[in-house]
Structure 1
């Protein structure tokens, strides 16, 4: 019986070493890309002639379907690329190893040195041939309830992977599946929290702020925005058009808020509540910069809508500053991380007055004093505000 080469012998021994490391040595590592890169380096050190590896996972983020983690020879870490939801309609996916895996294949193996016309035809194989790789293998990786991800390995070794190498790599798959599932679900939990309650609130919840009534007092600039005539629109427009309209409106309003350091706490029907904590330098100025950018985005959105015959969207923004209670409020089994207090009520009242006064953006005097001199503001007099005894001095901002 012929002797195995040195790499193959090492390959037979690597299972215990790398499996033990994956099981016991990765407990303090949060990120799967770091674990994956270190695993590949350890495989090389054990004698597996690995030159390229990738891990493809679905995470169902609101903006992208998943991610590709790619490691190549010489890298200490791994590159992460986001994968869009429409990837399965693209040429780079159709006919690819990933396409075959998701269609049910249990293994994809490709000899990269034979005549390309005799093998699978896809750009990824041409790319690997150009890199001097000789052999490629891909396997599905199963998480709970049969959810399929996949992992790939490639080598430039003459003759490709030995069977001992393949056996050793396969022995890693169940442990890699467990290790990756934990990290991916941790990331998914954080992503979902950031998506639904905002990044700051997400950090607090993950840190343990889950008890009803827990919270802190925060001094912040408060911005409340509302869409005009939404009831009429929702009653008369097709459902899908209403959803498309709302998403466009919220994109225009929300993205400038997050770009300028604000935190969106909730969408309420056609309304938006955001805060800019004053603990951040320039918070009030940042809020008005966000308003300026939002108004430009709304003008662009209305121009696009006008091309399809839609009427322009009108809106009102109320801005105030003050102390708010920031924390958990709700029933014993269903909580909302939000802000409450008189300052929030004032911002809401100012937003309501925008319609009455015909001014799209109204600021309280208290807020305006913190940005006066930096922005062009117009005093519009004192006006009665529901729920407050004395008339309030109002300031308009045109952005």
Structure 2
């Protein structure tokens, strides 16, 4: 598109400075979006007239397929937008540069100074023309095992990028790929741990708490929830319906727990185990607030189930408070980061009693004493609990 100019040698020298910075001086920066924004500013200083740049990463988060990091001239920080799994069926993707690159293109180059009728047909090109951009280039960025991501650059320079500019940008790609992959692997490790063991346990594991038998004693409120009649449902419903039902049920229960500072340690079939460490102020009250919101969410879910011809879901919740052992338990090669102890057993027994006593939420006296001034509770009576010698005084919560 352009012929080399007398400034090309200066640009090449400046490019190498950017590569050295990217290689040697970013090791203490944790987040790729910050690195990418700084990279674009340094490219401008090096004489490469970048006006807009994006980095598209496939991250395979449980909720998102990927993320787009976008920087424009004048921005101090890059913007991050998540991308849904169904994006590839939408017009914003079909025919886009990302679509071309993911289909195997090695480069997408578009002269935005040409009339719209002569160029590629996609809204992203119209948006860039409207902003006065003149040239656009997109390349695949390769991580290990052939994983393809995408990086793009655009300029408003009359005549677009020179060949020296393009060469300078291309020289950055191998290092940018390495730098971004390291940050992605770190983020992916955190995401996987947060997804499968919870945020607090994940942080402990990343900090090195991986030795079997290692752990600590935590004073916590414990909540155990379980669906009723799930065996009948799973035997009689189509597989996909069962999975959809479980996901909806766990969303209704889990989101309030996370919102109020609890941590879900595990899903056990159709049940879940969560703790609210008493080191946090109002932990017990927060647990009951989470239960209140979860019950409201279940009411809404059951209404939806009725409208679609599904039976409403019934469940029971047992709540206790006490010391639990929190740490690594398992075989030599397969560990589980969880809690054990008599307090956990008690919460489990109370959940079992909810069906027998016809109550949805049962609390132990030990837990009730910590919240009775702030919540209306119903005393149910004293009942024998399997595995415990003395009867336990129980309370019901209807919030």
| Separation in structure 1 between the aligned mates of residue 192 and residue 288 of structure 2, nearest angstrom | 28
Q: What stretches of structure 1 of length at least 5 have no aligned partner?
A: none
Name 2:294's counterpart in structure 1.
294
Q: Distance in 2 between matches of 1:325 and 1:96?
A: 53
Change (3 A) 1:263 1:7: farther
- Greater CA drift, 2-11 or 284-293: 2-11
How far 1:311 sits from its partner (Å)?
A: 1.1
CA separation in 2, counterparts of 1:254 and 1:6? 62
Distance 2:34 2:373 in 1: 49
Report the equivalent of 1:113.
113
1:7 and 1:48 in contact (8 A); partners too? no
Q: Shift in Å at residue 76 of structure 1?
A: 2.1
Change (3 A) 1:4 1:105: closer
TM-score (norm 1): 0.98
2:216 match: 216
Distance apart, 1:3 and its partner CA: 9.0
C-alpha distance in structure 2 between counterparts of 1:309 and 1:162, whole Å? 63
Q: In the alignment, what sits opposite 1:122? A: 122
Structure 1 partner of 2:19: 19
Matched, 1:57 2:47: no
For residues 258-337 of structure 1, what are the structure 2 equivalents within 5 Å?
258-337=258-337
Number of positions where the alignment pairs a residue of Structure 1 with one of Structure 2: 398
> In the TM superposition, what are the counterparts of 1:112-191 in structure 2 within 5 Å?
112-191=112-191
Whole-angstrom distance in 2 between the partners of 1:331 and 1:131: 60
Distance 2:44 2:139 in 1: 19
CA deviation after TM superposition for structure 1 residue 17, in Å: 0.8
Alignment partner of 1:381 is 2:385: no
1:15 Cα offset (Å):
2.9
Match of 2:75 in 1: 75
Q: Give the Cα–Cα distance (whole angstroms) in 2 for the partners of residues 4 and 340 of structure 1.
A: 70
Preserved CA contact (<8 Å) 1:8 1:47? no
How far off its partner does 1:4 sit?
A: 4.5
Does the CA-based 8 Å contact 1:376-1:397 persist in structure 2?
yes
Residue 227 of structure 1 contacts residue 314 of structure 1 at CA under 8 Å; is this kept in 2? yes
What is the DSSP-based 3-state SS (H/G/I as helix, E as strand, rest coil) of the residue aligned with 1:370? helix
SS at match of 1:80: strand
Q: Which moved more, 1:240-249 or 1:4-13?
A: 4-13
Give the SS at the match of 1:369.
Answer: helix
Question: Partners of 2:206 and 2:7 in 1: how far apart?
Answer: 45
Query: CA separation in 2, counterparts of 1:272 and 1:357?
Result: 21
Identify the range of structure 1 (14-23 vs 340-349) with the bigger mean alpha-carbon deviation.
14-23
Runs of 5+ consecutive residues of structure 2 not aligned to the other structure = none
Alpha-carbon shift at residue 7 of structure 1 (Å):
5.0
C-alpha displacement of 1:5: 3.8
Please state whether the residue corresponding to 2:371 is helix, strand or coil. Answer: coil
Deviation at 1:46, TM superposition (A): 0.5
Contact 2:15 2:46 in 1 (8 A): no
Structure 1 stretches of 4+ with a deviation exceeding 4 A read: none
Structure 1 Cα separation of the partners of residues 230 and 6 of structure 2: 72
Residue 398 (structure 1) aligns with:
398
Equivalent residues of 1:261, 1:276 under 8 A apart: yes
Partners of 2:114 and 2:288 lie apart in 1 by 63
In the alignment, the residues of structure 2 paired with residue 381 and residue 133 of structure 1 have an alpha-carbon distance, to the nearest angstrom, of 74
Give me the whole-angstrom Cα distance separating, in 2, the residues matched to 1:74 and 1:311.
55
